[in-house]
Amino acid sequence: MRPSKRLERIPPYVFAQLERKIAEKRAAGVDVISLGIGDPDRPTSPLIVEAMQEAVSEAETHKYPTNRGRDDFRGAVRDFYERRFDVKLDPESEIIPGLGAKEAIFNLNLAFLDPGDYALAADPGYPVYTAGPWLAGAEPVLMALDPERGFTPDLEAIDTEVLARAKLMFLCYPNNPTGAVAPEGFFERVVELAREHEILVVHDNAYSEITFDGYRAPSFLATPGAKEVGIEVFSLSKGYNMTGWRCAALVGNAEALHTYWQLKTNVDSGLFEAVQLAGVAALSPDADAEVASMNELYRRRRELGGEALHKIGVRVKPPHGTIYVWAPVPQGFEDSAGYCEHVLEHTGVVLTPGAAYGPAGEGWFRISLTTPDERLLEAVERLGALEA
């Protein structure tokens, strides 16, 4: 058997490796605490689970869905975007469901890129921003997120030849892995650049509902002109504790969504209608209180995480959003992978090396706040003991 050359170019998926390492440690009897993967530990809200239970008992949901999505799902996304972001969308042409953001981001690459094309990818960034272009036979071009610019790329520094060949640009705010939120005026500059160079902006909006300190994350589409040049991928995974459900919506530029739909009709058969109905429940105002209480939980854990890092001599600026804390590797360690190995070996605590998200992530590591409080406290203690 010979796998495709395309696949050979892809580095092993970081979390698959991490899962294997954790399994090995556990098999060896180590009590591992994972602060690695960003998979919410709390269950999906009963409001959403009950909507699913009801929906799944209706025979009408058992058939093939359409790739366009149910009217009520698209209606719920329209209402949510208006209520939450003050963004108006036409449910007929500007909203389409996705099987999670990962699927959507990957397939957008297949829908838009040919060999020789470029996709601009935030670095550090979600791994599919680079694997997607590679698997589509195209090339990702990394845009380093500069800590001095609030973890945004220097758009003016992008080579004009690169801009001429770039067809897609992947961005994400609130940002995984850095926890940064989009600084004032940044989205406006992105729209300008995209318009000038005919680049489709894909704003990965996986974390807008998880924010702290009174900060409310905007939609990229709330930026004037954004809908002409971009789409947003809104995932229900993190904000609604629905990672396993695979529920997302792509919203924005109608022509781009039509192209994605064209590809999708050849790739899969749409999002299970019962999951769409669960999504309707999640996006209703009735779920707002649950989202707020999750944010309070993560805010508390963010303090605990900050405390843990302080104990090992690492100082961080508390992030205004996401379920992550991004922190510099302490002095004395060669690189982020070496540091995370050291921590795992000596404490059984799993951290994610920043380099796993791209070269600009080197020198950093990420902790995820999706671990129950008592385990997070235990991790704090173990990290404190490591330094003693």
Ligand X SMILES: Cc1ncc(COP(=O)(O)O)c(C=O)c1O
User: What residues line the site for ligand X (CB under 6 A)?
Assistant: 38, 100-102, 126, 172, 176, 204, 206, 235, 237, 243, 248
Which C-beta is closer to ligand X: that of 74 or that of 102?
102
Residue with tokens 């690169």: 162
Question: Euclidean distance between the first and final Cα of the chain, in Å?
Answer: 51
Which C-beta is closer to ligand X: that of 210 or that of 380?
210
Smallest separation (angstroms) from ligand X to the CB of 224: 25
Residue nearest to ligand X (CB): 100
Which C-beta is closer to ligand X: that of 163 or that of 278?
278
Which C-beta is closer to ligand X: that of 243 or that of 336?
243
DSSP 8-state secondary structure symbol assigned to residue 108: H
Angle at 177 between CA 319 and CA 174, to 5 degrees: 55
Which C-beta is closer to ligand X: that of 120 or that of 172?
172
Which C-beta is closer to ligand X: that of 84 or that of 382?
84
How far apart are alpha carbons 187 and 190 in whole angstroms?
5
Smallest separation (angstroms) from ligand X to the CB of 128: 7
Smallest separation (angstroms) from ligand X to the CB of 78: 19
Helix (H, G, I), strand (E, B) or coil at 72: helix
Smallest separation (angstroms) from ligand X to the CB of 287: 17
Smallest separation (angstroms) from ligand X to the CB of 321: 12
Q: Are 357 and 124 in contact (CB under 8 A)?
A: yes
For residue 322, give every residue at least 6 positions away whose Cβ sits within 8 Å of its Cβ, in sequence order, or none.
174, 175, 176, 179, 207, 210
Q: Strand order of the sheet with strand 166-171? A: 95-98, 248-252, 230-235, 200-205, 166-171, 118-123, 139-144
For residue 178, give every residue at least 6 positions away whose Cβ sits within 8 Å of its Cβ, in sequence order, or none.
124, 145, 147, 151, 319, 324, 326, 364
Smallest separation (angstroms) from ligand X to the CB of 158: 21
Structure tokens at 30: 């180590």
Structure tokens at 372: 């129950």
Which C-beta is closer to ligand X: that of 101 or that of 360?
101
Per DSSP, what are the bridge partners of residue 205? 234
Q: Amino acid letter at 151?
A: F
Smallest separation (angstroms) from ligand X to the CB of 145: 13
How far apart are alpha carbons 373 and 244 in whole angstroms?
22
